[in-house]
Amino acid sequence: MWKPAQTMKRLRCHSIGTRIATICVSSVAVTAIVLLAIVLVQRRVMTGTVSELFAKQARADAENAARDVRLHCETAHAMLVEHMSSGLNVAEEMLKKAGGVSLGQTTIVRRTVHQMTREEKPAALPKLYVGEVWLEPDATAKPPPPFLDQVEALTGFSVGLYQRMNERGDMLRVASTFHQADGTRPVGIYVPSDDPSAQGRAIAAVLEGKRYFGRARMGGAWHLGGYAPILQEGAVIGMLFVGAQEKLLAQTRQPFLKIPVGKTGYAFALGGSGDLKGRYVVSQEGKRDDESMLDSVDADGVPVVRQMVETALSQARNGQLLTLRYRWKNPEDPAPRWKVSAYTYFEPWDWIIGAGAYEDDHREALQIADDTLGRTVLWSLLATLLLAVGVSWIAVIASRSLARPLSDLVHAAEALSAGDLKHEVILPSDDEIGKLSQSFGAVSGSLRSLLGDLREASAAIGREAGNLLAAANCQSGRACEQSAALGITGDTVSELAQASHHTAEHAESVIATAQRAEEYSQQGTQVLEETVSRMSVLGEQVDTIGGSITELAERTLLVRELLSAIQDVAEQANLLALNASIEAARAGEQGRGFAVVAKEVRRLAEKSRGAALRAHSILREVDKGTWTAVEATEEGGRHARAAMDQARGAASAIHGLVGAIRTSTGTARQIAEAARKQTAGVEQIVAAIRELDTLQADALSGTKQIQAVASSLLSLSEHFSRLVARYKN
């Protein structure tokens, strides 16, 4: 790979004459290469442009040919319509002379065949008469009515007669002058009203009472003809056809054979619908007529014929011109060729008509242009070589005339670099080199006068540098002592700042502890106040309980008196029972029942006495417990009142403690605030000392730099003196 930096480096190793010659030749070579590259690029661009122009020309040729073909088809169709209109007039006149067409009253069953599907079906139709002649159903081998042959003889057109089959308008061919290949006549074949070909459109026009000119299929062959309605009492009962086979009409084929399309292109016509869809109607020189191309594909596998037929039927019914570019290979071509086809739909004949032009038809012109550009490139190359030789010869002569005086200046410069200021160069010329020699002499004189001044300046610099170095050494010593003193002061102040910081932290801790103590004291005061309140309530409840117990003791005495009375009653009952028992014993048998009662009374008296004794015992225990409870209640009341008095004293003491804690907290806050202020002041002092230390360090660094500069100046002065001593003036 070419590297400009390395090339320039190599050129610097050669003499100026060699470099001048090299630059001149290189400039010419580069210019030639650029021009050659421009020509080659333009050749490529021009080739592409010419190819594009030829492709556009091929498209234009195809479009112009397609327009010409359509114009010829329209002209031929107009002529055919005129002739066929005349033929229809003749046929209608001959039919009128023959008695006209009418439907009979009798209905017969006829065998009918669908024109496209060949499907057979019977149809019940009224008899059809021409004058008095009945057109029999099986008339394939019989001659038609005489007037049909007369019309064919007069006009040269085939004639057909159709009968309407139903309300839809299906038309049955009942008579024809056309002969099939087997000699029979194509009758008994019907055309459905919804036929997609031109015959369907013809039926639609006839049913409206109009004439139609277009295509019709008869006996397996397509005809171009005209249709006219047959009326009976104003109703359409059939239609009359007059026409000729397409392939026999020279005026339909001449436009395709005569119109040129480029060098090897051609015009063509394809069927648009029915069994002729995609089939050649007119091919190149008629070689492929009636060949189906619908499924043919181009060199890239695209079914271009089907695409042309479908797009023409959907987009070009009003005569619009469409184009398609593809690679097509005819049987006689060795390889596919790019082809542009312009096509449209010609509805009267149900044809897709068009023309195809090959882009390589203009290859000869493209080759001529390419050869011309090649010769231009060759002559440009030869001219460049001649120019390079001439410029090289001129460059060598010019480099020699420039190199000689420059060589003298080089020798003088070498002497000057060696210290010899007495060498001079005198060149008798007024060009740039002469002026350069004069300037060189002036520079030598200036250097000689400058050397004297430099010697004196060097000595002065040496003296001043020595003085500056001595002052800098003194200043450096003092700066070191000041830096050490500032370091000690900074350490002391830092310790003071740390102590102030610790004091502030302890003061904050004391404040926090005092605040917590104050909170706890307030909580204790609240607890004691609640305790006093509850003990007061408790004392009242104890007094209430004591009163209740005293009342209970008094009522116990009443119960005891009642029990004594019950005991007395029981003893008396016992005595009475004893007496009753004695009396019952005396009474004998009569007193036995009374003895039993006396016994039971005695037993009850003993139980009452025992119960009274037990109640006395219980009451004594209750009385004892009651008085104990009374004493305990009184003692509890005394203790409660004493505890309440102690709680009130504790609450008073805690209130005093809260005041003392608040006073301590305020004092601690003052201490903390003072400590913070002291810390801030000490930190400012530390910052100031650090700044002084930094300034002192900078001053020391500046002093050292001054020492270095003074030393460098001293060394430079000595070196400068040695350099000046080298030159001779």
DSSP string for 703-716? HHHHHHHHHHHHHH
What pLDDT, on the 0 to 100 scale, is given for residue 398?
Answer: 67
Q: For residue 123, how many other CB atoms are within 10 A of its CB? A: 17
What pLDDT, on the 0 to 100 scale, is given for residue 148?
Answer: 81
The DSSP symbol for 142 reads: S
Token pair recorded at residue 422: 């007495």
What are the b/e assignments for 211-236, b being 16+ CB within 10 Å?
A: bbbbbbbbbebbbbbbbbbbeeeeeb
Q: For residue 14, how many other CB atoms are within 10 A of its CB? A: 11
Lowest mean pLDDT among 11-15, 425-429, 721-725: 11-15
Task: Tell me the sheet residues that pair with 280.
Answer: 270
3-state secondary structure of 297: coil
How far is residue 503 from each of residues 78, 497, 580, 640, measured CA to CA in Å? 126, 10, 110, 49
Q: For residue 40, how many other CB atoms are within 10 A of its CB? A: 13
Integer Cα distance of 158 and 240 in angstroms: 11
pLDDT at position 278 over 80: yes
Degrees (nearest 5) of the Cα angle 639, 640, 641? Answer: 90
Categorize the per-residue pLDDT at 209 as very low, low, confident or very high, splitting at 50, 70 and 90. very high
- C-beta of residue 632 within 8 angstroms of C-beta of residue 638: no
Question: pTM for the full model?
Answer: 0.43
- C-beta of residue 350 within 8 angstroms of C-beta of residue 197: yes
3-state secondary structure of 268: strand
Integer Cα distance of 265 and 54 in angstroms: 14
Integer Cα distance of 191 and 214 in angstroms: 15
Burial grade of 658 (CB within 10 A; 0-12, 13-18, 19 or more): middle
The DSSP symbol for 265 reads: B
pLDDT at position 683 over 80: no
The percent of residues above 90 in pLDDT, for the chain, comes to 10
pLDDT at position 1 over 60: no
Give the residue with greater pLDDT, 11 vs 697: 697
Lowest mean pLDDT among 68-72, 316-320, 391-395: 391-395
Q: What is the tens place of the pLDDT at every residue in 614-631?
A: 777 776 776 777 677 667
Q: What is the tens place of the pLDDT at every residue in 439-451?
A: 766 666 666 676 6
Lowest mean pLDDT among 88-102, 236-250, 512-526: 512-526
Q: What mean pLDDT is reported for the chain? A: 75
Q: What is the mean pLDDT of residues 469-495?
A: 66
Lowest mean pLDDT among 5-19, 81-95, 159-173, 603-617: 5-19
3-state secondary structure of 299: coil
Q: What is the mean pLDDT of residues 635-659?
A: 69
Integer Cα distance of 727 and 451 in angstroms: 8
Q: What is the mean pLDDT of residues 568-594?
A: 72
Highest mean pLDDT among 226-230, 256-260, 602-606, 653-657: 226-230
Write down the residue that tokens 């009653």 correspond to. 569
pLDDT at position 29 over 90: no
Q: What is the tens place of the pLDDT at every residue in 399-415?
A: 666 666 666 666 666 66
Token pair recorded at residue 34: 């650029």
pLDDT at position 248 over 60: no
pLDDT at position 380 over 90: no
If we measure between CA atoms, which residue out of 16, 9, 6 comes closest to residue 410? Answer: 16
- Beta strands 235-245 and 221-232 are antiparallel
Q: What is the tens place of the pLDDT at every residue in 127-174?
A: 999 888 888 776 555 666 777 888 888 888 888 899 999 999 999 998
What pLDDT, on the 0 to 100 scale, is given for residue 204?
Answer: 92
pLDDT at position 519 over 80: no
pLDDT at position 581 over 80: no
- C-beta of residue 354 within 8 angstroms of C-beta of residue 271: no
Highest mean pLDDT among 3-7, 29-33, 314-318, 416-420: 314-318
Integer Cα distance of 614 and 554 in angstroms: 19
The percent of residues above 70 in pLDDT, for the chain, comes to 61
Categorize the per-residue pLDDT at 229 as very low, low, confident or very high, splitting at 50, 70 and 90. very high
If we measure between CA atoms, which residue out of 123, 165, 130, 157 comes closest to residue 146? Answer: 130
